[in-house]
């Protein structure tokens, strides 16, 4: 596998539903050196700790096949809200011309939520998306994994 080449001065977002790490490549294209610019964390306990209501009954009563309405997944809704907040932060940075290349590393579900909330000005600057969970790792392990990741050939 060929080593990745993250553009010099590229912004690298490593995130999941509760944590977003903004890194900057201070190194070269062939030897990335990632430094932390900002870390955002969001407390998002499991749904069982967030929801207080029991599932409601639908209009057909207790004995119909449609009688039970599914309880909201508060954990998933909070992850989507956090992704929306991160997309807004990325828009502010793009609007201030703080990056021209963006690499996003996040689990597939979070990547989808980010794409859904992302402004065109940010989407146009995405150099790569890595569908992987790395937000819980150390900066050293993130840098090591990204250095071994085979990124787009056009970089």
Minimal CA–CA distance to 118: which of 73, 80, 151?
80
Per the domain annotation, does 115 fall within a domain?
Answer: yes
Q: Which range marks the domain in which residue 102 is found?
A: 11-44+73-148
What is this structure's pTM?
0.77
Please report the pLDDT score of residue 154 as a whole number: 41
Number of structural domains the chain divides into: 1
Within a domain: residue 106?
yes
Helix (H, G, I), strand (E, B) or coil at 150: coil
Series of mean pLDDT values for 10-residue runs along the chain (155 residues)? 73 93 91 91 60 53 54 70 93 97 95 94 95 91 81 47
**Long-range contacts of range 116-122, CB-CB < 8 Å, 24 or more positions apart?**
116/83, 117/83, 117/84, 117/87, 117/88, 118/87, 118/90, 118/91, 119/87, 119/90, 119/91, 119/94, 121/91, 121/94, 121/95, 122/87, 122/90, 122/91, 122/94
Residue 61 lies in a domain: no
What's the pLDDT at 97? Answer: 97
CATH of residue 120:
3.30.420.60
Please give the Cα distance from 83 to 74 (Å, whole number): 14
Residue 84 maps to a domain: yes
- Indicate whether 4 belongs to any domain: no
- Please indicate, yes or no, if residue 59 is contained in any of the structural domains: no
| Residue 32 within a domain | yes
């Amino acid at each position: 596998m060929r080593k990745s080449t993250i553009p010099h001065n590229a912004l690298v977002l490593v995130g999941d539903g509760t944590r977003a790490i903004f890194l900057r490549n201070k190194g070269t294209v062939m030897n990335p050196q990632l430094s932390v610019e900002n870390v955002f964390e969001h407390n998002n306990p499991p749904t069982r700790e967030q929801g207080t209501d029991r599932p409601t009954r639908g209009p057909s009563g207790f004995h119909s096949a449609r009688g039970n309405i599914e309880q909201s997944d508060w954990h998933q809704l909070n992850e989507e809200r956090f992704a929306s907040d991160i997309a807004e932060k990325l828009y502010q940075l793009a609007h201030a011309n703080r990056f021209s290349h963006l690499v996003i590393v996040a689990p597939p579900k979070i990547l989808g939520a980010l794409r859904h909330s992302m402004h065109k000005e940010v989407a146009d600057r995405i150099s790569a998306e890595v569908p992987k969970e790395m937000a819980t790792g150390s900066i050293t392990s993130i840098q090591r994994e990204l250095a071994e990741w085979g990124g787009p050939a056009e970089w």
